[in-house]
Chains A and B, each alone.
Chain A
């Protein structure tokens, strides 16, 4: 099995006709993802990548029966796109866009409260259930169907971890990039809960980084609820305080958000925390073997 997305997901692309969206939607289609159409205001009625384009998400849902969307619209309009997708009742919305103003995301986040929609991202590579469905910008070929769930705040560092797993012959159930921004839809705890409940996920990889306290919260959740082996890594052990390390959310501020605190909390919760990113695969292998 897998979580959140699978071969039955019916996916819309918001900002469908843009350059990045066109390229990545094409890659998703090639992987077998059921992209049922796209949304671009003002381009309703046209065809793109042999699929219908709609002016609004609501119209697209009505015509295609879509339940999922992926957002590639520019930062200034992305929060609005998230809210439009939620208003149309989509179950899963994946926002790839990087650089959305925090104030906009705060509003979108509030808009999502009390609604059924699950937002993944923003500023994330997306989500893939290997062999079934890829919704995002991750390279498909490094993945392999299997039983390890991967959740991460980073993009390429996730690819690194997945690549190591696949080289060791260890497949993945679902890999979720939750995003590098301070305000995100799906948290570590959300993903851990879903992986914990998924019968075919046998181990979990959790990749965090400096900034905020989401990893500490996740560690407390693991200690209380998760019985499956969890292997973790925290990026930014050498990052200077007060500096934003690429991701908007990756900053040590006011004495909080330090890598050392996160690692300590995770270890105390029984999570196997890797000293270097190079050993994520082998640590998972060891935990799966029962050591």
Chain B
């Protein structure tokens, strides 16, 4: 789960990570009031779940509260496009208003899971404020790494190695060590899958402060973090994806014309791939789950057909233990109930395949049966043209 910068900063502050003074604002009035409380010049930052906001015009400095109000008026409701939002962009609905800081240096800190080592890795770099993926690709030697021992956490000596390694000294290094230990505790305590401070700034007075912050949470661990679940912002998600998640369906909207309904994540990805291979474009990723129960198929149809770009549907179910006649009965009932007009190609494997095919063919609905994935993909791509 992704959360906003202002939420991440509030969480990190609770773990002893210094962040700029500031508050979230949902309206022009609130933004102006926050700016007045802070006094002096402020930064107004658009809060969307995507990076690259500065370049897109989503981060601006105001000299005073009046100017902050003016900026807020422009930013709230605007569609912000960055390299991470895609061409459709995101509508800005929340702002973060913060104090400005005299910046001496910009550094990078981040924690991610190292899959091969089976533990988190803490990364630090003197090349802060830049796209860290680019730094990793072009100058990997500029990124220092320390493994975090599970159960023990980041040790002070490791944080010192990193702090001195990225060129900090004296009290500033000491403050950075404390901040790094806090960041590592936050990663563990929040069940994060990513925690990143970019940039970490050294202010004119030697303080180290998280100027930006990004935290992604492990969806599988949310059951033990009821407070963090509250941080979900549904406005940041595609409305269809929000609706699908309510049905416990694993759905991701794409921009193609061939809708697909598949059981299992790997097969669902492979189905998208084969549609593309035969010249079509997938409208979505959808995993209806291993069982592919009738109720879920109805819900899935409802979601798929709410996408106006969809011209044909491919159902690819490898049932195995699942009975194809049961599946076919569910598909027919759902298609009838929802009055599905789009052509539907069905490829299914499992027990009672013949009976399943018979039910589909005799339904009088617009079904095309396919034998194997290649046949299914070729047929549905043709029907979508």
Cross-chain contact B267 with A156 (CB below 8 angstroms): yes
Kindly report which residue of chain B lies nearest to residue A254, judged by CB atoms: B133
CB contacts (< 8 Å) of B218 on chain A: these are: 101-103
Please tell me if A180 contacts chain B, counting CB pairs below 8 Å.
yes
B183 vs chain A, min Cβ distance (A): 16
Q: Given the interface contacts A212-B115, A246-B285, does A277 sit within 8 Å of B274 by beta carbon? A: yes
**A155-169: contact bitstring with B at CB < 8 Å (1 yes, 0 no)?**
111111001000000
In the complex, which of the residues B113, B188, B269, B277 contacts A245, with contact meaning CB atoms closer than 8 Å? B269
Binds B, one of A40-48, A57-65, A80-88, A105-113: A105-113
Kindly report which residue of chain B lies nearest to residue A155, judged by CB atoms: B264
Please tell me if B150 contacts chain A, counting CB pairs below 8 Å.
yes
CB contacts (< 8 Å) of B118 on chain A: these are: 106, 109-110, 183
CB contacts (< 8 Å) of A248 on chain B: these are: 219-220
In the complex, which of the residues B84, B263, B374 contacts A276, with contact meaning CB atoms closer than 8 Å? B374
- List A133-180 residues whose CB lies under 8 Å from chain B: 137-139, 141-142, 152-160, 163, 180
In the complex, which of the residues A153, A156, A160 contacts B290, with contact meaning CB atoms closer than 8 Å? A156
Cross-chain contact B269 with A210 (CB below 8 angstroms): yes
Label chain B's interface by main secondary structure: mixed
Cross-chain contact B321 with A139 (CB below 8 angstroms): yes
Cross-chain contact A276 with B119 (CB below 8 angstroms): no
A254 vs chain B, min Cβ distance (A): 5
Please tell me if A99 contacts chain B, counting CB pairs below 8 Å.
yes
Q: Given the interface contacts A138-B320, A240-B252, does A250 sit within 8 Å of B269 by beta carbon? A: yes
In the complex, which of the residues B188, B193, B267 contacts A157, with contact meaning CB atoms closer than 8 Å? B267
- List A236-254 residues whose CB lies under 8 Å from chain B: 236-240, 242-250, 253-254
Cross-chain contact A160 with B221 (CB below 8 angstroms): no
CB contacts (< 8 Å) of A202 on chain B: these are: none
CB contacts (< 8 Å) of A142 on chain B: these are: 320, 349
CB contacts (< 8 Å) of A246 on chain B: these are: 250, 264-266, 268-269, 285, 287
Kindly report which residue of chain A lies nearest to residue B86, judged by CB atoms: A240
Please tell me if B137 contacts chain A, counting CB pairs below 8 Å.
yes
* Bound CA–CA A246/B272 (angstroms): 13
Please tell me if B373 contacts chain A, counting CB pairs below 8 Å.
yes
Please tell me if B350 contacts chain A, counting CB pairs below 8 Å.
yes
Please tell me if B58 contacts chain A, counting CB pairs below 8 Å.
no
Q: Given the interface contacts A106-B118, A107-B150, A139-B321, does A278 sit within 8 Å of B266 by beta carbon? A: no
Please tell me if A75 contacts chain B, counting CB pairs below 8 Å.
yes
CB contacts (< 8 Å) of B133 on chain A: these are: 254-255
In the complex, which of the residues A137, A180, A238 contacts B276, with contact meaning CB atoms closer than 8 Å? A238
- List B297-345 residues whose CB lies under 8 Å from chain A: 318-321
A42 vs chain B, min Cβ distance (A): 22
CB contacts (< 8 Å) of A99 on chain B: these are: 220
Please tell me if B151 contacts chain A, counting CB pairs below 8 Å.
yes
Please tell me if A217 contacts chain B, counting CB pairs below 8 Å.
yes
Please tell me if B57 contacts chain A, counting CB pairs below 8 Å.
no
Please tell me if A1 contacts chain B, counting CB pairs below 8 Å.
no
How many B residues have CB within 8 A of the partner chain? Answer: 57
Cross-chain contact B290 with A275 (CB below 8 angstroms): no
Cross-chain contact B269 with A76 (CB below 8 angstroms): no
CB contacts (< 8 Å) of A276 on chain B: these are: 270, 273-274, 277, 373-374, 377
Please tell me if B369 contacts chain A, counting CB pairs below 8 Å.
no
Please tell me if B204 contacts chain A, counting CB pairs below 8 Å.
no
* Bound CA–CA A217/B221 (angstroms): 28
- List B352-383 residues whose CB lies under 8 Å from chain A: 372-374, 377
Please tell me if B120 contacts chain A, counting CB pairs below 8 Å.
yes
* Bound CA–CA A237/B282 (angstroms): 12
CB contacts (< 8 Å) of A138 on chain B: these are: 320
Q: Given the interface contacts A103-B191, A110-B150, A137-B290, does A160 sit within 8 Å of B270 by beta carbon? A: yes
Kindly report which residue of chain B lies nearest to residue A214, judged by CB atoms: B115
Please tell me if A209 contacts chain B, counting CB pairs below 8 Å.
yes
* Bound CA–CA A124/B121 (angstroms): 26
**B85-127: contact bitstring with A at CB < 8 Å (1 yes, 0 no)?**
0000000000000000000000000001101101110000000
Cross-chain contact A277 with B273 (CB below 8 angstroms): yes
Q: Given the interface contacts A182-B113, A233-B270, A246-B250, does A239 sit within 8 Å of B285 by beta carbon? A: yes
* Bound CA–CA A105/B123 (angstroms): 21
Q: Given the interface contacts A138-B320, A239-B285, does A182 sit within 8 Å of B115 by beta carbon? A: yes
Please tell me if B157 contacts chain A, counting CB pairs below 8 Å.
no
Cross-chain contact B266 with A27 (CB below 8 angstroms): no
CB contacts (< 8 Å) of B224 on chain A: these are: 76, 101
Please tell me if B231 contacts chain A, counting CB pairs below 8 Å.
no
In the complex, which of the residues A137, A240, A245, A279 contacts B268, with contact meaning CB atoms closer than 8 Å? A245
* Bound CA–CA A157/B316 (angstroms): 11
Please tell me if B142 contacts chain A, counting CB pairs below 8 Å.
no
Q: Given the interface contacts A139-B350, A239-B272, A250-B269, does A27 sit within 8 Å of B321 by beta carbon? A: yes
Please tell me if A100 contacts chain B, counting CB pairs below 8 Å.
yes
In the complex, which of the residues A27, A110, A157, A214 contacts B270, with contact meaning CB atoms closer than 8 Å? A157
B275 vs chain A, min Cβ distance (A): 8
Q: Given the interface contacts A156-B266, A180-B265, does A217 sit within 8 Å of B320 by beta carbon? A: no
Cross-chain contact B252 with A235 (CB below 8 angstroms): no
- List A194-224 residues whose CB lies under 8 Å from chain B: 207, 209-210, 212-214, 217
CB contacts (< 8 Å) of A209 on chain B: these are: 265-266, 269
* Bound CA–CA A158/B266 (angstroms): 9
Kindly report which residue of chain A lies nearest to residue B241, judged by CB atoms: A243
**B213-229: contact bitstring with A at CB < 8 Å (1 yes, 0 no)?**
00000111101100000
Cross-chain contact B220 with A242 (CB below 8 angstroms): no
* Bound CA–CA A244/B287 (angstroms): 12
Please tell me if B169 contacts chain A, counting CB pairs below 8 Å.
no
Contact sample, A vs B, 7 pairs, CB 8 Å cutoff? A110-B119, A139-B350, A156-B267, A157-B269, A210-B269, A254-B136, A277-B274
Identify 10 new A-B residue pairs, CB closer than 8 A, beyond the known A103-B188, A154-B267, A250-B265: A75-B220, A102-B191, A106-B118, A137-B290, A155-B267, A159-B349, A180-B266, A183-B118, A246-B268, A248-B219
The 3 closest A-B pairs by CB, nearest first: A154-B266, A246-B265, A139-B320
